[in-house]
Amino acid sequence: MKYLIAIFFSLFLYFSMPGQNIGIGTTTPDASAMLDVVATNRGMLIPRLTTTQRTGISPAANGLLVFDADTKSFWFYNGLSAMWVEILSGSVKTIADADGDTKIQVEESANEDIIRFDLGGAEKMILRKNASGQERLEMGLNTAVGKDALSANVGGTDNSAFGNGALFTNTAGAKNTALGAFALNKNTTGNENTAIGYYALNKNTTGTFNTAVGDSALYTNTTGSQNTAVGNWALQYNTTGWDNTSVGLNSMVSNTSGNYNAAFGSWSLISNTIGSWNSAFGNNALYSNTSGNQNTATGNRALNKNSTGTDNTASGMNAMFNNTTGNYNTGLGSLCLWSNSTASYNTAVGNNAMYSMTVGTQNTSVGGGSLRSTTNGNNNTSVGFEAAVNGNHAQSTFIGSNINISTNITNVSALGYGIQNAQCTNHNQILLGNTAIGQIRAQVSSITAYSDARFKTNVSEDVKGLDFITRLKPVTYNENPEVLHQIWGTPDSVLSKIDHTGIKSQRFIGFLAQDVEQAAKDSGFEFPGVDVPQNDKEVYALRYVDFIMPMVKSIQEQQALILQLQIENRELKLNAAKFEKEIELIKSYMAKSN
């Protein structure tokens, strides 16, 4: 016994000597090994434990090695991950937690590598990579990647959640896709929603068929369905609105319950809250709309300030920019109806058409710059490039480009190119053609005028006849309209576009207005057929139809003179016959006397 004690003591001293390595079955142990066991017909046994015994070791040292008799495999403790790692000689390797119900198993083969992830004793996810390098992630009927993603799901299927808190509250919702932290975070039973972006569709609970792409897109939506939002904060505050489409940064961000709206462009329909059936295409289009319905804005900042206006259509950059509450307006062209705020029932087509209109209603303007300066006129119609470009008119019709009537007029109709301001001398006129017109041709030869005695007042038979007519001086002449335009001050840019070649060579017949004016004065007749200029920018004008009445009066006066002469002639003849009879009587008497 004392010899055994001496041997163990010697071994103890030997093993305890620092820097010494030990050899069993060899006298020259390998220098790299602290213990070198050499044998040809025996092995080395390490502790053999059951799984319960192995997992019951606490604390376990990092690198501790045991043989598990239950799994019939070696295990070592990885202190860095606080897990037991199984060591197998085959193609399967397993890492498990202390109680063994959570583990990772790696399977390797020539055709495919597989990593299986088990949680709570059940397989939750499989990652596969085949020999061609193709990878596939399988997670049963749902896919969740990220902290708390799909963590409350019970019966929902075919959901995909990627990101922290994605589909966090989902219980029974199906066919949802959430990509981004807190995307579809509050969804419970909503189905077939797609949310891509941080906080996209965050508060959706039961809404269905929604698509949100962008940071906080459709963030506040709860029960609204069939909405599409693409862009950061698009439709951010929508709660119950449905069938809305919003594409662009901040587009329709304020919409809460408006329906059937479409917004394409950054900040388009950004202020809309409850307005419905609106369409906005362009940056800032329908920017200020809150509750207006059935508006269509196409173009950068079109209908930008519209708030409650309804049934407006604006197409073009800044078209109807300042409209706020005006209704039933149509503006097609950049800057058309720019100033309109509250006016309604206006139609403007063309760049800058009706640009200055603010409160005027029921106007129609077709042509770039047409009715550009009219602000509060009503019931005007203007067709042509810069037709009625100046002036503030009402109840007037302008057809023809470059019509320039700057004086504010009412109930005037102008037809023709380049009709100038001086051609219109008052309200209630019809202007036909410019100064190049040589004829007015029509199937009929007269104009029918209303002439019922029941609406005529202050009737007086004071028309001059022969005294006026006989003083007139009919003449033939040629015209040089360019002198007219010099008097009117017509810009050369307009005058150069009117061809007066034909009119200059044409021979006319008529009167000189100054002669007519003088004839009227000399006869004491207030003749209404001559327009006398009121300033040096106006010219004389004649209404030839007004000569008919003095001519009729002249004929009447002539007929009266003829009748008087006929009566006087008849009396002369009667007197002559009587005189001849008396002479005959005298002759007879004298003959008897002889």
Alpha-carbon distance values, 557 to 28, 143, 353, 527 (Å): 163, 111, 57, 18
End residue of a domain, out of 114, 138, 162: 138
Helix/strand/coil for 230: strand
Considering the domain architecture, whether residues 484 and 573 belong to the same structural domain is answered as: yes
Q: Is the pTM of this model over 0.85?
A: no
Considering the domain architecture, whether residues 19 and 134 belong to the same structural domain is answered as: no
- Asked whether residue 367 is assigned to any structural domain, the reply reads no
- Asked whether residue 503 is assigned to any structural domain, the reply reads yes
Q: pLDDT band at 91, cuts 50/70/90?
A: low
Considering the domain architecture, whether residues 472 and 553 belong to the same structural domain is answered as: yes
pLDDT above 70 covers a percentage of the chain that reads 92
Q: pLDDT band at 239, cuts 50/70/90?
A: very high
Average pLDDT for 491-520: 92
List the one residue out of 542, 517, 524, 532 whose CA is nearest residue 465: 524
Residue with more model confidence, 75 or 364? 364
pLDDT of residue 527: 96
Q: Containing H/E element for 246?
A: strand 245-247
Considering the domain architecture, whether residues 39 and 52 belong to the same structural domain is answered as: no
List the one residue out of 154, 158, 147 whose CA is nearest residue 185: 147
Phi then psi dihedrals of residue 291, to 5 deg: -130, 5
Phi then psi dihedrals of residue 429, to 5 deg: -125, 155
- Lowest mean pLDDT, pick from 4-18, 463-477, 506-520: 4-18
Considering the domain architecture, whether residues 62 and 38 belong to the same structural domain is answered as: no
- Asked whether residue 89 is assigned to any structural domain, the reply reads yes
CA pair distance 585, 594, nearest whole angstrom: 14
Task: Give the number of C-alpha atoms closer than 13 A to the C-alpha of residue 17, restricted to the C-beta side.
Answer: 8
- Asked whether residue 13 is assigned to any structural domain, the reply reads yes
Q: pLDDT band at 475, cuts 50/70/90?
A: very high
The domain that holds 99 is classified in CATH as: 2.40.128
CA pair distance 100, 118, nearest whole angstrom: 10
pLDDT of residue 287: 96
pLDDT of residue 26: 86
- Look at the chain and report how many structural domains it folds into: 3
Q: Is the pLDDT of residue 398 over 70?
A: yes
Can you tell me which residue has the tokens 């990220």?
146
Considering the domain architecture, whether residues 515 and 587 belong to the same structural domain is answered as: yes
Please spell the DSSP secondary structure of 207-222, one letter per residue: --S-EEESTTTTTT-S
Considering the domain architecture, whether residues 35 and 57 belong to the same structural domain is answered as: no
Average pLDDT for 35-63: 88
Give the number of other Cβ atoms within 10 Å of residue 537's Cβ.
11
End residue of a domain, out of 110, 138, 166: 138
Q: pLDDT band at 576, cuts 50/70/90?
A: confident
- Asked whether residue 497 is assigned to any structural domain, the reply reads yes
Residue with more model confidence, 527 or 25? 527
- Asked whether residue 25 is assigned to any structural domain, the reply reads yes
Considering the domain architecture, whether residues 16 and 117 belong to the same structural domain is answered as: no
- Lowest mean pLDDT, pick from 107-111, 236-240, 520-524: 107-111
Average pLDDT for 235-245: 95
Considering the domain architecture, whether residues 538 and 495 belong to the same structural domain is answered as: yes
Q: pLDDT band at 282, cuts 50/70/90?
A: very high
Considering the domain architecture, whether residues 23 and 132 belong to the same structural domain is answered as: no
Phi then psi dihedrals of residue 586, to 5 deg: -65, -45
Q: pLDDT band at 5, cuts 50/70/90?
A: very low
Q: Is the pLDDT of residue 229 over 50?
A: yes
- Copy the structure tokens of residue 301: 């900042």
- Asked whether residue 154 is assigned to any structural domain, the reply reads no
Considering the domain architecture, whether residues 130 and 8 belong to the same structural domain is answered as: no
Average pLDDT for 520-547: 93
List the one residue out of 252, 215, 255, 210 whose CA is nearest residue 231: 215
Considering the domain architecture, whether residues 2 and 115 belong to the same structural domain is answered as: no
Task: Provide Rg for the chain, Cα atoms.
Answer: 54
The side-by-side arrangement of strands in the sheet containing 103-108 is 48-49, 65-68, 73-78, 83-87, 92-96, 103-108, 112-119, 122-130, 135-138
Average pLDDT for 108-132: 75
pLDDT of residue 495: 86
Number of H helices and E strands in the chain, helices first, is 8, 33
Which residue spans within 97-244 are E strands per DSSP? 103-108, 112-119, 122-130, 135-138, 143-145, 160-162, 177-179, 194-196, 211-213, 228-230
Give the number of other Cβ atoms within 10 Å of residue 57's Cβ.
15
- Asked whether residue 330 is assigned to any structural domain, the reply reads no
Owning domain of residue 8:
1-44
Average pLDDT score, the chain: 89
